[in-house]
């Protein structure tokens, strides 16, 4: 899969282990350093950048090197998205470029928790109302891109208050987070595709920029059919 080497990357935003402490499986895990790198708001051309800005959409590139922290595979911090003005939560679209990813998605009441496994070229839609964490369970770098509305700020409080997501992926397997007494069993599945919107494995999601398939990112209520796969 194309690694977007043709885009000049700005300085990344770096997620440090210090920032991750509230969400790690082992509280107080003695580790330090940068954990992952987020290159936000990218575009290949001035025309694409103008289209993205006019449509309030961001294209980001994230690199998650392999690592374990006190026995837990490296992961993103985890956050929820608020509701759009139409009352439906903002969704997000990811695509893996290199490495292996596990998208750990959960409803706000954690009654449904699902891991979507994805490899190079795979697309993953985070449906409205789902919080998400991305785990790198492999020993290679995970590179991924995402398209998301830039009309909101991510909400981290619930993940921080409950010490992360409902499950942790550790080197000896999946472990339920004891702070989620009522969490549902873990479902593990592959990523569904959405051919009617041109969102299919192996097709660069960047190609959707400038087209008419990304309306769901800012007007999710009109696209309920897209979110039924979950
Ligand atoms: O904000 P977190 O939970 O650290 O997750 C980082 C990921 O989220 C994004 O901000 C998009 O939601 C990406 O830039 C990045 O891959």
Q: Give per-residue pLDDT as tens, 27-45.
A: 999 998 999 999 999 999 9
The parent domain of residue 31 ranges over: 13-227
Whether 8 is in a domain gets the answer no
Ligand 1 neighbour 88 (Cβ under 6 A)? no
Q: Give me ligand 1 centre to Cα 44, in Å.
A: 20
Ligand 1 neighbour 104 (Cβ under 6 A)? no
pLDDT exceeds cutoff 90 at 19: yes
Whether 29 is in a domain gets the answer yes
**Distance between CA 204 and CA 96 in Å, rounded?**
10
Strands (E) across 119-172 are located at 123-126, 130-135, 142-149, 167-170
Whether 1 is in a domain gets the answer no
Whether 5 is in a domain gets the answer no
Whether 219 is in a domain gets the answer yes
Q: Give me ligand 1 centre to Cα 70, in Å.
A: 22
**Distance between CA 128 and CA 157 in Å, rounded?**
18
| pTM, full prediction | 0.97
Whether 141 is in a domain gets the answer yes
Whether 40 is in a domain gets the answer yes
Number of domains in the chain: 1
154 Cα nearest atom in ligand 1: 1
pLDDT in tens, 143-172: 999 999 999 999 999 999 999 999 999 999
Q: Give me ligand 1 centre to Cα 123, in Å.
A: 16
The domain spanning residue 67 has which CATH number? 2.60.120.10
Ligand 1 neighbour 77 (Cβ under 6 A)? yes
Whether 35 is in a domain gets the answer yes
Q: Which residues lie below 8 Å from residue 63, measured CB to CB, with a gap of 6+?
A: 12, 36, 37, 39, 141, 142, 143
| Residue nearest (by alpha carbon) to ligand 1 atom 5 | 76
Ligand 1 neighbour 15 (Cβ under 6 A)? yes
Ligand 1 neighbour 42 (Cβ under 6 A)? no
- pLDDT category of residue 3 using cuts at 50, 70 and 90: confident
With beta carbons less than 8 A apart as the criterion, state whether 132 and 92 touch. Answer: yes
Q: Give me ligand 1 centre to Cα 76, in Å.
A: 7
**Distance between CA 70 and CA 74 in Å, rounded?**
10
Could you report the predicted ipTM of this complex, rounded to two decimals?
Answer: 0.97
Instruction: Judge residue 178's burial from the number of C-beta atoms within 10 Å of its C-beta, 0-12 exposed, 13-18 middle, 19 or more buried.
Output: exposed
């Amino acid at each position: 899969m194309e690694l977007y080497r043709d885009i000049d990357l700005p300085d990344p935003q770096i997620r440090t282990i210090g920032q991750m402490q509230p969400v790690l499986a082992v509280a107080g895990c003695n580790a330090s350093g940068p954990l992952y790198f987020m290159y936000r708001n990218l575009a290949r051309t001035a025309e694409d950048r103008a289209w993205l800005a006019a449509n309030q959409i961001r294209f980001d590139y994230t690199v998650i090197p392999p690592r374990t922290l006190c026995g837990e595979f490296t992961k993103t911090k985890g956050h929820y998205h608020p509701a759009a003005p139409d009352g439906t939560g903002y969704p997000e679209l990811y695509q893996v470029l290199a490495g292996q990813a596990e998208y750990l998605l959960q409803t706000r009441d954690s009654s449904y928790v699902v891991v979507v496994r994805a490899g190079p070229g795979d697309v993953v839609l985070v449906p409205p109302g789902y919080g998400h964490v991305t785990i790198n369970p492999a020993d290679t770098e995970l590179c991924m891109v995402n398209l998301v509305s830039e009309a909101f700020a991510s909400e981290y409080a619930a993940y921080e208050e409950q010490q992360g997501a409902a499950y942790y992926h550790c080197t000896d397997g999946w472990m339920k987070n004891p702070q989620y007494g009522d969490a549902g069993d873990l479902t593990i599945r592959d990523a569904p595709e959405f051919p009617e919107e041109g969102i299919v494995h192996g097709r660069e999601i960047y190609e959707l920029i400038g087209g008419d398939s990304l309306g769901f990112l800012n007007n999710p209520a009109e696209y309920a059919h897209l979110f039924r796969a979950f």
